[in-house]
Amino acid sequence: MVSGTPPDAYDLSEVYERAREWAAAGQSLDGGLLLHRRGARAFWDAVLGLTAEEGRARLADWADTGWHHLDSYLDVVTMVFTQAYADQADLPSAQGDRRAHTLFDRLCARLPITMEDQERAARLGFDLTPPYVPFVALLDTSAPTERAELAGRLRTAGALAFVEDVRVTGLTGPAFDWSAFLADRRLLLAQDLPTGRTGLQTAVDNLRLLVAVAARSHQRGSVRVEEFLPQLLLANSPELADAVTRRVFGPLTGGDNGELTATLTCLAENQFDSASTTAALHMHRNTLRYRIKQIEKLTDLDLQSHRDRELVWLAVIWAQVSAQPPGPRSTGNNQSSAASRGDTSLGPDQYSKKTTMS
């Protein structure tokens, strides 16, 4: 635009495909445009920051022209995004996704089933008769089009399924057969027991959290709540989890205690077995004994005590769940874990503990 040459068809097609991906992933049109507006602002701020003092006056003289070009850029982006979102909305798969999402939300909210709901269910081929089996599925490193395709295949098979950021969420009947879908080794699937509408919202919230925690552990296939009970307890109580972390690793923060933190973490990961820990750290057993004494002195923990070992174990698990290195974090911050942000990678996505999940 600065040189007087408008974007060619290839440039516009790149923006168009990105916009279609945003639309297929359920991202809002306003969110996409806001991102580009912020990008334009950041670009201009970067230009100002890189300009030497003697050039700032000249840049100030050019500011109106520069902003004119940025406005023209945003006009093009808005035009392309609007068209891409309209095209995406016209797809039968997108219509099915919206229909499924609307019906799902109404069932979770326990609203009376209307004629419109019955029509939606009939169009989707979904049986409205409870009980329902809630599920959340995640395709590892998938593109938005792949998630949309998975949701479409599930709807064809009789499930109520829709794309929800990086996840596919929905309901099935108790007899739904997942075997063909689980043949894809990238699939992570969490299901709850059959339930009526009363417990549906809570069950789905817990499944979203379970998928995020399981994805952090690089799990694939079908997972159950029972496999991740400690992680889920911590993720549901991030303030207490942070308190445990501060109690265990807080005294080791700062200074030259990085080796002690790594040693304590390795001990917990090896069930406090000295032989396994020395092998994992490639150190002599006397060195490990010395470090354990230093850890106990600094933290006032007794690593022979089951109670204190459990605290260390919980702190290490929380570090794994939150995808942050062991150590204290600021108090009163409910956004400290990736699980509580909704991040399963997980991608954009992935949730505050309760608000984003619902």
Domain boundaries of the chain, sorted by first residue = 9-90, 93-223, 234-327
- 93-223 CATH, one of 3.30.70, 2.30.30, 1.10.10, 1.10.20: 3.30.70
Is-same-fold flag (93-223; 234-327)?
no
12/17 Cα distance (integer angstroms): 9
Closest CA to 173 of 154, 152, 188: 154
pLDDT 10s digits, 318-349: 887 776 666 655 444 443 334 333 444 333 23
In this structure, CATH architecture of domain 234-327:
Orthogonal Bundle (1.10)
159/85 Cα distance (integer angstroms): 25
Closest CA to 126 of 137, 135, 117: 117
Question: Is the alpha carbon torsion for 218, 142, 166, 164 positive or negative?
Answer: negative
Q: What is the pTM of this model?
A: 0.60
Question: Is the alpha carbon torsion for 213, 215, 216, 219 positive or negative?
Answer: positive
Quote the pLDDT of residue 346: 32
List the alpha helices (DSSP H) in the chain: 9-24, 29-50, 53-90, 92-108, 115-124, 144-156, 179-182, 200-216, 229-236, 238-249, 258-269, 274-281, 285-299, 306-322, 338-341
Beta-bridged to residue 133, according to DSSP, are 172
pLDDT 10s digits, 193-203: 999 999 899 99
Quote the pLDDT of residue 89: 62
Closest CA to 211 of 357, 24, 25: 357
Find the Cα–Cα–Cα–Cα dihedral 144, 149, 155, 157, rounded to 10°: -140
pLDDT 10s digits, 244-300: 999 999 999 877 788 999 999 999 999 999 999 999 999 999 999 999 999 999 999
Low-confidence ranges of the chain (pLDDT < 70): 1-2, 25-26, 88-94, 323-358
